[in-house]
DNA sequence: ACCTGAACACCGTTCAAGT
DNA sequence: ACCTGAACACCGTTCAAGT
């Protein structure tokens, strides 16, 4: 549906500069194209759609072709999750920001990216987040806690607590959305229903409060 | 392997007492037997082994027979997870226990059950925990927070924070175990390796500290 | 170098049929 | 009431083959 026909050699800019180009045109597939296609498919059809065959179909190619670029299905998962974290990892708070504000905005961006793509929150609970964007987000929080006034041990505990909180909050948020959608047929649920925009605002407000609770604990500890 | 032959009518005790027993013996399958078999299989072979066909094989029956007792695979997941939470939900702290101690021991039991069965932590991140044992654990924490001195809003935030923390901590703990096992071949990892008992003690200590951090935040808030 | 095609050993689930 | 058997529409992954 409206997909640029896969065999078209529309390669844009660098086609005139780098490659030998005499014998053969560039490959139809690239890792980036695969990641983009995977994310598009997941956004459209949800986590269950992540199969080698359907990703391949999204790209106008056969499932087995993907194995030239990734070793297994899990790699596709990891690449897609880290892909949607790019938005969150770009434009992190600078080093001049107060530590607690830096923690809060970084955590919020992390959480927002995971919940903006429900499939990402689902996968994040089952795969470790080790991609470059996830690491950049983690490192910003680690750096912020270095200014929190606590000792090394206290910082290590705080880091874990924040990581658990971000992941747990994202996971339970999307689980609650599913539950709300599934129960949406009942009268009670319908009576309690609010607009999607309001629901999102409520979710975000809860997340901020939960992070603030943790920050209060960190401050209480470093003051003690 | 060493399975009691499935067609044997060894029904134990109550065979002499209750059922009509004239026309037909009891069913080979029961929901409880299915849950027990599923847990045994998962403990032995991990989360990937949870397929209808393999659970059925574990019980000496055909995959399609399971559909008489459960509607779909997800039900098996939910039943197994709540099944292993039974140990945690039995013997919760009584109402005379101080609220913070009650929160800590209940959270610890919850976390311990999920991490004692790695598959349960994996599934818990992807399925909402709505079984009777999960609800009993949640309710004990809710009740404890009622004595924490905070307002209703503060309690609601604290409940979410604790739930996120328990789920997030269990998930990241098993993910780190997998990572440690996968990297176990490298020299660095081998040098840093500790005995399984020590590793478990470290995990548990971290969990306690993380919960204590949250409790410190709750106290700071209710005191403010 | 990069992609296809056939093949293997699986899946969940439905449904008619047996007893 | 409870279980089997056949069938459908899928899976991930390997590997030889094409270009």
Q: What is the DSSP letter of A195?
A: -
**For residue A189, what pLDDT band results from cuts at 50, 70 and 90?**
low
Q: Give tens-digit pLDDT for B104-155.
A: 999 999 999 999 999 999 999 999 999 999 999 999 999 999 999 999 999 9
Cβ–Cβ contact B160 with A under 8 A: yes
* A59 token code pair: 């790209």
Q: Return the CA Rg of chain B.
A: 21
- Return the higher-pLDDT residue of A135 and B222: A135
Chain A positions touching B209 (Cβ under 8 A) are 157
- What would the DSSP string read from start to end of B8-36? -----GGGGTSS--SS-PPPS--HHHHHH
Is the overall model pTM greater than 0.75, yes or no?
Answer: yes
The number of angstroms, rounded, from the C-alpha of A207 to the middle of its chain's C-alpha atoms is: 16
Q: Give tens-digit pLDDT for A114-160.
A: 999 999 999 999 999 999 999 999 999 999 999 999 999 999 999 99
**For residue B193, what pLDDT band results from cuts at 50, 70 and 90?**
low
Q: What is the DSSP letter of A129?
A: -
What pLDDT is stored for residue A178 in this prediction? Answer: 81
- Decide: A169 and A214 in contact? Cβ < 8 Å: no
Q: Please answer yes or no on whether A127 and B221 come within 8 Å at the CB atom.
A: no
Chain A positions touching B220 (Cβ under 8 A) are 216-217, 219-220
Give me the residues near strand D, CB below 7 A.
A 50-54, 63-64, 67, 71-74; B 27-29, 61-62, 64-65, 68-69
Name, in order, each residue with C-beta under 8 angstroms of B116's C-beta and a sequence gap of 6 or more: B84
- Return the higher-pLDDT residue of B115 and A186: B115
Say yes or no to pLDDT of A3 above 70.
Answer: no
Among candidates B93, B90, B115, which has minimal Cα distance to B104?
A: B93
- Please name the residues between 177 and 206 in chain A that touch chain B, using a CB distance below 8 Å: 178-179, 206
Q: Give tens-digit pLDDT for A29-56.
A: 999 999 999 999 999 999 999 999 999 9
* B146 token code pair: 């009622």
* Mean per-residue pLDDT of chain B: 87
Domain residue spans in chain B?
A: 84-223
Share of chain A above pLDDT 90, in %: 75
CATH number for the B84-223 domain, one of 2.30.30.40, 3.30.460.10, 1.10.10.10, 1.10.357.10? 1.10.357.10
Cβ–Cβ contact B214 with A under 8 A: yes
Cβ–Cβ contact A126 with B under 8 A: yes
Distance, in Å, from the CA atom of B46 to the CA atom of B114, rounded to the nearest integer, reads 13
Distance, in Å, from the CA atom of A142 to the CA atom of A158, rounded to the nearest integer, reads 9
- Measure in Å the smallest separation between the Cα of B159 and chain A Cα atoms: 9
Say yes or no to pLDDT of A92 above 90.
Answer: yes
* Cross-chain CB nearest to A169 (options B164, B178, B220): B164
Cβ–Cβ contact B73 with A under 8 A: no
- Decide: B88 and B44 in contact? Cβ < 8 Å: no
Backbone angles phi, psi at A13, to 5 degrees: -35, -75
- Decide: B167 and A121 in contact? Cβ < 8 Å: no
Distance, in Å, from the CA atom of A194 to the CA atom of A209, rounded to the nearest integer, reads 20
């Amino acid at each position: 549906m409206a997909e640029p026909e896969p065999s078209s050699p529309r390669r844009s800019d660098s086609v005139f500069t780098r490659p030998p180009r005499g014998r053969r045109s560039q490959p139809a597939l690239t890792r980036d194209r695969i990641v983009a296609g995977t994310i598009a498919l997941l956004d459209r059809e949800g986590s269950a759609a992540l199969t080698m065959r359907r990703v391949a179909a999204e790209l106008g190619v056969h499932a087995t072709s993907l194995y030239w670029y990734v070793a297994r299905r899990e790699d596709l998962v990891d690449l897609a999750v880290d892909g949607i974290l790019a938005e969150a990892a770009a434009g992190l708070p600078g080093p001049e920001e107060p530590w607690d504000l830096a923690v809060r905005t970084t955590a919020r961006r992390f959480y927002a990216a995971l919940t903006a793509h429900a499939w990402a929150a689902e996968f994040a609970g089952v795969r470790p987040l080790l991609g470059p964007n996830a690491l950049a987000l983690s490192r910003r929080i680690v750096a912020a806690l270095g200014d929190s006034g606590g000792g090394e041990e206290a910082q290590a505990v705080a880091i874990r607590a924040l990581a658990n909180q971000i992941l747990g909050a994202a996971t339970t948020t999307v689980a609650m959305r599913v539950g709300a959608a599934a129960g949406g047929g009942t009268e009670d649920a319908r009576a309690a229903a609010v607009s999607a925009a309001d629901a999102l605002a409520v979710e975000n407000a809860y997340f901020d409060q939960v992070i603030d609770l943790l920050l209060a604990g960190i401050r209480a500890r470093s003051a003690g």
